[in-house]
Amino acid sequence: MAPPKKGFKGFGEWDSTSTSKEVPSAPKEHTKPTSAPESTRHSSRRTSNPATSKQTPSNTRPRFPKVERAQPPRILAQGHGPSRGPLRPPAPKQKYPNIVLEERPSTALTAAQKVKRVKGIYWITGIGVYALSSYGVYLYIQYGKAVKLNEENEKQYKLGMKNRPEIDTNKVYENISGKYDSNVRWSEFFMGMPLLRRWMLWGLQGDVLEASAGTGRNNSYYPIRNCKSVTMVDNSPNMLTIAKDDFERRYPRYGHISFAPQDASQPIKSPSGEGFDRVIQTMGLCSQKCPVETLQNLEQHCKPGGKILLLEHGRSHYEWLNDILDAYVVDHARNWGCFWNRDIGGLLEESGLVVTKISRFHLGTTWLIEASPRPREQDQTSEPGSESK
């Protein structure tokens, strides 16, 4: 180590002299003397000069002014923060200060809301999968039973051990008329039948005939303002009474309506004597004794250029489902007065109606049909049966 140069007075003196030029001496404070540690006292004796130590303390350090850097303004949008969402620029100043605008609530979802949404999706998906799988298992079991039941019935029919049953659907409907609506309401709702009924009755106009009106389940979908008159017929007087009471309750000021408890295959009188502009029927072919004659009679009562609208149920696209319908048709007819396995397409072909549109739902068992009457001779304008009456 090189020896210090001449005139070197120690680090303490150098510190005191350098700081005395740059930083002004702090004012003296009257404090009680404190005893410094012995290690500090020995070091001060070796490095400091008594003459200079009286002016400035040996433990002082150079003090520099603290410089703070200018930070850009950080603006947080209302309702947002580091944990809630990204920063947004400040909103522009309002042009009209006297108008107070309502602040829109934030649409951002919190973590708890996102978790609830995901759980809801999982629950709905799980319930849907469970319902479909359960329904599939039910159909599979019913299909196995139906095949065995059909084979047994056919053997008994051929051997003469069992006769094909004859069921009077009119008596069945008379017995179930009081509880019919309450029993079929929810099943029709889940199958979407109200939408199909509304769709079918959307364009009604002029003189309207409703065959097989039942308890009036189409009453709430009638566009009364476009209907010049409404005529309802049904085999069951009890059901037709329920339909009449419901219609009069819904439309108390509508007086152009008539009710006739009769079969739809018999002549029907229209208000004008020239037929009807629109003829509708819902779930009627399944309970008619002669469905082909009924369709032909409805055609005769429809004006040239009119429309015949049918909402029926019958055979499906799939043979396995038709086997189930065939096996349980007798029990279903005894309970509900409905033969649900009839071939609707075959009945339409046999009747001779001009079918313009067919839509099928529920695996092909529900038929929505739009048809029109066949062209007639120009001099044949009156409906059948009007001349005799």
Quick: pLDDT tens for 97-156.
Answer: 666 656 666 677 788 888 888 888 889 989 888 888 887 787 778 777 777 777 777 777
Average pLDDT over residues 48-63: 53
State the residue range of the domain holding 147.
Answer: 116-164
Highest mean pLDDT among 34-43, 76-85, 142-151, 292-301: 292-301
Domain boundary among 126, 144, 164: 164
More confident residue, 208 or 137: 208
Residue 14 confidence class, pLDDT cut points 50, 70, 90: very low
For the cut 50, the answer to whether the pLDDT of residue 18 exceeds it is no
Q: Would the pTM count as exceeding 0.85?
A: no
Say if residue 245 is in the same domain as residue 355.
yes
- pLDDT score at 48: 45
Task: Flag the least confident range among 19-33, 83-97, 155-169, 256-270.
Answer: 19-33
Say if residue 357 is in the same domain as residue 302.
yes
Measured N-to-C along each axis, helices 319-327 and 111-159 cross at an angle, to the nearest 10 degrees, of 60
**Distance, CA of 150 to CA of 177 (rounded, Å):** 30
- pLDDT score at 69: 65
> What are the backbone angles phi and psi of residue 180, rounded to the nearest 5°?
-65, -50
Q: Into how many domains does the chain fold? A: 2
Say if residue 367 is in the same domain as residue 271.
yes
Q: Is residue 381 assigned to a domain?
A: no
Q: Is residue 249 assigned to a domain?
A: yes
Say if residue 234 is in the same domain as residue 270.
yes
Say if residue 290 is in the same domain as residue 182.
yes
Say if residue 210 is in the same domain as residue 157.
no
Q: Enumerate residues 6+ apart whose C-beta is below 8 A from 343.
A: 314, 315
Q: Which residues pair with residue 77 across a beta bridge?
A: none
